[in-house]
Amino acid sequence: MTTIKDVAERAGVSIKTVSRVLNEEPHVRAQVKERVLEAARELDYKPNRAASRLAGGRSFLIAHLYDNPNPSYISALHIGAARRCRELGYHLVVEPVNSQDKDLLGLVRRLFATIAPDGILLSPPLSENTEFVESVRQLGGRIALISATHGDEWTHISTDERGASKAIMAHLLGLGHRRIGFVRGHPQHFGATLRYDGYCQSLVEAGLALEPALVAQGYFDLQSGLEATRSLLALPQRPTAIFASNDEMAVGALMAAREFGLNVPEDLSIIGFDDTPMSRLISPALTTVRQPLEAMGAAGVETIVSPDKAPGDYLDFEIILRDSCAPPRG
Amino acid sequence: MTTIKDVAERAGVSIKTVSRVLNEEPHVRAQVKERVLEAARELDYKPNRAASRLAGGRSFLIAHLYDNPNPSYISALHIGAARRCRELGYHLVVEPVNSQDKDLLGLVRRLFATIAPDGILLSPPLSENTEFVESVRQLGGRIALISATHGDEWTHISTDERGASKAIMAHLLGLGHRRIGFVRGHPQHFGATLRYDGYCQSLVEAGLALEPALVAQGYFDLQSGLEATRSLLALPQRPTAIFASNDEMAVGALMAAREFGLNVPEDLSIIGFDDTPMSRLISPALTTVRQPLEAMGAAGVETIVSPDKAPGDYLDFEIILRDSCAPPRG
DNA sequence: TCTCCCTATGACAACGGTAACATAAAGAGC
DNA sequence: GCTCTTTATGTTACCGTTGTCATAGGGAGA
């Protein structure tokens, strides 16, 4: 294995100079820098990160702590994060946990003591636990929060879920829907609240009444979506469209529609959120919202590696129009 | 941060002795061992893995190289692998890659040069690429292969996919089906071949003819499952059941059935494979096969950490009976 | 009883980087 | 031209562990 010493020798400089060049520290002449870089290239030198870390530098590891609500969500984050990591010479360590675990903080502490990641990526629901986030912060590590907002605004990676919700509503209203049912997401999920906000704002801005009866509570799982939609469809004056706060509940909504003998989208339009793989596979395919999850994972890594870079704006969402929406009957 | 030195001091021994105890090396008196362990416990000592690695020991990192065919598959592997890693003091590094990438081996080489994982977990399709697997092996790292078989049999983690296929067939045959269509999986996927093998063997053992017309090629995606099933249902004497080599194609089969005006399961039974989350959500819910993916991930880690442990037998699959199968009409 | 070997333990170097400090050379200000 | 900074580079200690080798003591075999 070639080491920094070999590179130094070949370039005719000291190892410290090589270190400087490789870490982009100042005070190296352009000419020397070039010489070092070339030597490194020729020897195919790759720094030993265990040594970097031990000497007080970075570990080039980023840990993603998550409690898995949804494989495709996590998977997409991983792909985006890992790709960016690779570009930056980092590596992504995954730590699936149980968010109910009493000793979560102990796990983080152990993480720092053993592999000392340069930062920690937190996704919902972990990123929404203010107390936990603060504790982790106090342990000294850098943090990037996916889809959550509290404390330092620099560290947040999110899409404008409220805006996405409004865009979906605009679509529905544009089709002519006036009675739109809403299935709320898990009460502790921050994004769920934003999605609901968007729903409410859209109605108000359209000059429509906000009927509490048209809003039902769900918990992001199929069953709750099914039950919530049942209650909505049982209304004397039933909605012509259902906006579910995520895809899984939208599938529940679809089942409820079937129970009521309603055709989707002719008799009932249905909207999901998240664009899980399933929303494409189900019939009719769901109109839904896609968050740029890979970009969010990448942005999280970015935030950790270069915390002083410009605070990221919202990342763009995308409305995926498929077959579950149509103008209302009559 | 407390180091090995602190522990040594507290226990009244040299750091080397502490190291010996912690690494379960021989030649330490039970009494001393106990003393060291207690000191470590009291100080909440956690070894610095960068230092371990640098000194020529293990890195306590295991990398999972994968090309993501299916988020829930990968996710389950990660959960199982990461859990076992945690129990063993290891950490799981994820490396999603493009299996078509020309420089895959370069990536592995870089991996070894920078973070030097103690082993590499390979899942399909990577684990099925003999040439690649051999190259990685030559780079010196330990390997665990998920669902693939070649070379050293110690390093394989798999379920008996042929057996699972036969179990599914037994179920179908038990229901009374005699004309069973089969949608093959991707030709390069080893498991797909095993599943097909199971289908063939079952027919033969049941004394039924193996009709080539009842077998259609698919590629694991929805569209190919849809098309394959269409061709099967267009047969003059159509099958009463369709066994698709994975869930996604089974969904395609479901759609094809609908196109033909067939009710599932009354007019047509459908079987999937993999038990993806979708198979539970779709209507009718799919009867399918579940592989113990978490256990497989854990076994992979185990294989890497303790390569001389007993070669794992097949891990048990499970038949998940749901609503997509019924006795044939008439 | 005397080797010889094995067990239990420690001292110390080594791993491959980075940080702190030293130093030489080059500009800046007067 | 002379001091005072600043820039460019090198020297060396150090990070926290494991490997190598040395050594003392105890038991087995002759």
Q: pLDDT tens across A186-195, in order?
A: 998 989 999 9
Res. B63 pLDDT band, cuts 50 70 90: very high
What is the structure's pLDDT at B311? 59
The yes-or-no verdict on residue A78 having pLDDT over 90 is yes
B126 part of contact set with chain A, CB < 8 Å: no
Distance CA B114, CA A217 (A): 49
Which bases of chain C are contacted by protein, using any atom under 7 A from a CB? 7-20
B53 part of contact set with chain A, CB < 8 Å: yes
What is the structure's pLDDT at B54? 96
Give the closest residue to B159 by CA, choosing from B172, B177, B146. Answer: B146
Res. B151 pLDDT band, cuts 50 70 90: low
Looking up tokens 């129990």 gives B87
Distance A308 CA to D6 C1' (A): 27
Res. B153 pLDDT band, cuts 50 70 90: low
Q: Do B38 and B69 touch, CB atoms closer than 8 A? A: no
The yes-or-no verdict on residue A152 having pLDDT over 90 is no
The yes-or-no verdict on residue B70 having pLDDT over 80 is yes
What is the structure's pLDDT at A155? 74
Q: Do A87 and B101 touch, CB atoms closer than 8 A? A: no
Please state the rounded mean pLDDT for residues B311-322: 88
A105 part of contact set with chain B, CB < 8 Å: no
Global pTM value: 0.94
Chain A residues within an 8 Å CB radius of B69: none
Contact check, Cβ <8 Å, A114/B283:
no
B206 part of contact set with chain A, CB < 8 Å: no
Q: Do A50 and A265 touch, CB atoms closer than 8 A? A: no
Mean pLDDT of the residues in chain B: 94
The pair phi, psi for residue A87, each rounded to 5°, is: -60, -30
Nearest CA in chain A to B252: A281
Partner B, chain A 66-95, Cβ-Cβ below 8 Å: 68, 71-72, 74-76, 78-79, 82-83, 86, 89, 91-95
Q: What is the DSSP letter of B327?
A: P
Res. B273 pLDDT band, cuts 50 70 90: very high
Helices assigned H by DSSP within B282-321: 293-305
Contact check, Cβ <8 Å, A50/B47:
no
CB A89 within 7 Å, strand C: no
Choice among A10-19, A73-82, A305-314, B10-19 with the minimum mean pLDDT: A305-314
The yes-or-no verdict on residue A2 having pLDDT over 90 is yes
